[in-house]
Structure 1
Amino acid sequence: MEIIRIDDPADSRVTPFLSIRERDIVGRQGRFIAEGKVVLNVLLNSSRFRAESILVLENRLAGLSEIVENAPVKPPVYVASREVMDRIAGFPIHRGVLAIGEKGPALDAADIFDGLADQALIVVAVGIANHDNLGAIFRNAAAFGADAVLIDPTCCDPLYRKAIRVSVGAALKVPFATVPNPTSLAADLMARGFDTFALSPRGRTDIRHIKTSGRVALYLGTEGEGLPDALLARMQTVRINMAKNFDSLNVAAASAIALHHFASTESEPQHWPEYMDRTLAS
């Protein structure tokens, strides 16, 4: 691998890593930040995304050698001291491993649907604006073999640095696309043979009583407001029964329970590209 020492935070070769927090807010013009060894490993083995460059602390380099050497494409690796790296990033990077990823062409719903098998599981996220929650939903989707995640325009970016980190790289692993109108999508899903379920504390049926096979779409809404009434009115609503006098679970925890119920984890998801057969590093 190509190793380049960086001693000056103003070195133009590390410009994409400058002031990470501020640039996360305004966007990165088709790029994203991957943070940590596990996430880097997923990025390096991705067929949808490409690592442009890597920035690491000098004391983390030895631990990354194997995964970089085994990557299909080996980006340049910039190595810096703690002081220099913190000045580049704009705050202390405790994991000491950063990479610039290229987003590439966005998928749309048609890309997701194309090639889905008769048995499929997808997640539809509506209004999930918290990066921790969306990242955890992606992690749960990967853990329980969901074929894809569809998000509406009010969701946060799954490729935001914190969302990727919380997902443990699953946001780079599970196919996703943005859909303009989740209500119209529900009609399209039904026409494509999906059983559609809306998860809500006010759901009519305890999820444990739902038996289904084939194609399943699980709708998840934001905490507090939940899914819009227009959506709840046109699909089957399910709830997770809880102790009396307790309102609801965090949406990430609820998604794990619901996905476990609907998942068929005996086989790999049908729609994931070939590279996704590789498991996340522990």
Structure 2
Amino acid sequence: MTPIPIHDLDDPRLAVYRSLKATNATRSLDCFVVEGEKLVERLLASRFPTESVLLTDRHVDRLRATVPDGVPTYVVPFERVHDLVGFPFHRGALACGRRLPWPDWRALWGDATGPLRFVACPRVSNPENLGSIARLADAFAFDAILAGPSCPDPLSRRVLRVSMGSALRVPILTVDDPLALAADMTRELGVAFLAAVAGEATPFESVAIRDRLGIVLGDEDRGVDPAWVAACAESVTIPMPGRASSLNVSTAAAILLHHFRRRH
């Protein structure tokens, strides 16, 4: 790594890092930004090319051995990085990655012979929930997340931060019609989708375990859409003897993903 000191915050090489809070919508860009040392390291280790790294002068020595030669590494004074990114920032390291599409699902699993596990998030709207679900899918070895078009950008800063970089490893396949994709996967891969609902349904611990399954999670306000419930092989619920009527979607995901991974 050869550090490149920059003192002028208007330098065009810093454009992608400027006013991040005000320009959080990155879905339309061909690049994305990660924050913090751990995520910089995980971006460098991922399939996504690293376009550049931005460090404060206090963090250069800590990451000198991590950033490979050939990756432009810009250094700004610690006292000025907050002015650049647009909010108080103390993690000392950012990096810009270049987007790459995930391969088609048939290329990924069309020839698979073993178990397959998926999570479907047709309408999860909170980036922190999607980030938590990505981290859970990574932790419990689920193969991918199927996301609808209204879901947050999987490579947004908040999703990446909450997932601790798991969104760089777990395929998050964002498609216009995830229900049609689920139907294709059921027909061609034998995946049985289970709708996770609140209320009357089969307790999740009583559900027969399949080699190939998908867990469908509802959005934060309305739950699983009736069209998904009708298309799923079964509806499952997490019994709750207390007074709360439902769980946060990422909490429900933690219970279900752990259970179906452990029981497989």
Normalising by structure 1, we get a TM-score of 0.87
- 1:201 equivalent to 2:198? Answer yes
Aligned pairs (5 A) from 1:91-240: 91-191=87-187, 192-202=189-199, 204-235=201-232, 236-240=234-238
Give the percent of matched residue pairs that are identical in Structure 1 and Structure 2.
35
- 1:35 equivalent to 2:35? Answer yes
Q: Corresponding residue for 1:255?
A: 253
More divergent stretch after superposition (96-105 vs 80-89): 80-89
Aligned-partner residue type, residue 246 of structure 2 = S
CA contact (8 A) 2:56 2:76 kept: yes
Question: How big is the shift at 1:107?
Answer: 3.8
User: For 2:43 and 2:26, how far apart are their aligned partners in 1?
Assistant: 22
Deviation >6 Å, runs of 4+:
none
CA contact (8 A) 1:189 1:196 kept: no
Q: Corresponding residue for 2:240?
A: 242
Question: How big is the shift at 1:185?
Answer: 2.6
CA contact (8 A) 2:145 2:171 kept: yes
User: For 2:125 and 2:84, how far apart are their aligned partners in 1?
Assistant: 28
User: For 1:134 and 1:179, how far apart are their aligned partners in 2?
Assistant: 15
Change in 2 beyond 3 A, CA 1:264/1:74? farther
- 1:64 equivalent to 2:60? Answer no
Q: Relative contact order, CA 8 A, sep 6+: which one is greater?
A: 1
CA contact (8 A) 1:151 1:179 kept: yes
Question: How big is the shift at 1:233?
Answer: 1.7
Structure 2, unaligned runs of 5 or more: none
Normalising by structure 2, we get a TM-score of 0.92
Q: How many residues align?
A: 262
CA contact (8 A) 1:109 1:178 kept: no
Aligned-partner residue type, residue 124 of structure 1 = A
CA contact (8 A) 1:108 1:178 kept: no
Question: How big is the shift at 1:27?
Answer: 4.9
Aligned-partner residue type, residue 217 of structure 1 = G
State the superposition RMSD in angstroms.
1.9
